[in-house]
Amino acid sequence: MLAVGMALLCLAACQREAGRLAADDIAILLVLMVFSLLWLADVWRAGQWPVGAGGEGRWLPVWPLFAGLVLLAWRRVPPSPMVWWWGVAVGALFAGGIAAYEHFWLGRWRPDNGMNAIPFGNIALLLGTLSLVALVSLRGERAGRLGVWQKALLVLAALAGLLASVLSGTRGGWVVFPTLALLVCVAAFVSLPRRRMVALVAILMATLLAMAFLPRASVTARVGEGVENLQRYTQGEAGSSLGLRLEMWRAGWLLIQHKPLLGWGEGKLESQRDLWVAEGRFNRGVSRYDQLHSDTVDTFARRGVVGLVSLLALYLLPLGLFCRYWYRGVKARNREVQAFALSGALVVVAFMGFGLSQSMLRDPRGLAGFLGLLVACWCLLKRAAESQAYVGLRPSTSLCPWVNTTYEWMVCFVVCRYRLSQ
């Protein structure tokens, strides 16, 4: 809410001519708006807001609209690139420090920082990976400004993020990390001398192996547990962690088959699922959860094909734009554009992977992390592109006042309606 308040203040104080929107800016705003409005329409037809753990999920459908407001504000007053890089690094360092303290000092098997261990480990892994981007992409003049201790701090931040992921036992993140590492290695192949690239890969692999075989790390235990859960599930025992997740996906597929176009709606999904649980179709442990442990399955079952398309657009359109800018940045030899385009692509790919086995976008920390990192990467990318006279898409200046005003009034209307419904 603090970020939204600052965004509104910025929009009110800054001149309309500042931060002119281009066609790709408007495309990002549209996917945020459509995803949010479809979720709000689903809430309206079902008469129920998301609950989430501890009742923290009630505002989730409005958050993409808030992210659009922040995007409009940051396009007028872009954040500092160095604040981004050191913010990511400090976040990864704190995540690694908290995980190490809880695991080694307090003796917790899966550290979670007072939240669900899965989003904690996933976001820490992403922050650690983003810390590597500064070392891989920001070479030349900008890299020359970094001292040895600063480079060492970035390396330590990357290791801390990986350590937090390993200690948290997030198996979904471990599946996604090879893809993230491959993207970083592709960028390194373009940006770094071959010897340094080989050294980077060797250090990364050695670090992963060392963390995986830490005496008290949960990697081998978690992998073994997963194999055992799968074996028990094939034998008809669905009460394990992996077994319940497979049961939820099976229930989700059955829900999708019954209402594929518009889905069951917010709250009604749980009611129908629990009815089938009472009939003995699924394990009773499934009813403990308010989601289906997959963004894709959960969104498809709740909002049907329409909701699934909005989710895919939220992923794929920004990913396509980030990849496009990265390719153009390589051709123009603009390393700052490459760095922020790579960071944005990593954010989208990471959450696409995380969302396969966990409903990250229905978790307050997960959704906040995705929207915040996505909008920050996009605004920093556009700042770098425009400051270097980078050839991008033409600004749609005639649409700028209309888009700004529409977003401001839309958010005010939605918030007022929410308050009146309480």
115 domain residue, yes or no: no
Distance (Å, whole) CA 145 – CA 250: 53
Q: Which of 4-13, 26-35, 75-84 has the highest mean pLDDT?
A: 26-35
Tokens of 405: 């005003």
Identity of residue 276: W
The angle at the Cα of 408, spanning 51 to 346, to the nearest 5 degrees, equals 65
Phi, psi for 113 (deg, rounded to 5):
55, 35
Q: With cut-offs at 50, 70 and 90, classify the pLDDT of residue 168.
A: confident
381 domain residue, yes or no: yes
Domain count, the chain: 1
Under a CB-based contact definition with an 8 Å cutoff, are residues 164 and 124 in contact?
yes
Size (the chain), residues:
422
Residues 154-166: pLDDT tens digits? Answer: 889 998 998 898 8
72 lies in which domain range? 29-48+61-77+238-293+300-318+359-422
Predicted confidence at residue 419, as pLDDT, reads 43
Distance (Å, whole) CA 145 – CA 181: 26
185 domain residue, yes or no: no
Cβ neighbors of 341 (< 8 A, separation 6 or more) are 322, 323, 325, 326, 329, 381
Neighbouring-strand partners of residue 260 = none
258 domain residue, yes or no: yes
144 domain residue, yes or no: no
In the chain, the percentage of residues whose pLDDT exceeds 90 is 41
Residues 380-415: pLDDT tens digits? Answer: 999 998 876 544 434 444 444 444 445 444 444 444
Rg (CA), the chain: 22
38 domain residue, yes or no: yes
Residues 223-233: pLDDT tens digits? Answer: 777 778 878 87
Predicted confidence at residue 11, as pLDDT, reads 58
329 domain residue, yes or no: no
Q: With cut-offs at 50, 70 and 90, classify the pLDDT of residue 52.
A: low
Tokens of 20: 């002119």
Residues 117-156: pLDDT tens digits? Answer: 899 999 999 999 999 888 777 654 444 455 677 778 888 9
108 domain residue, yes or no: no
Phi, psi for 395 (deg, rounded to 5):
-65, 140
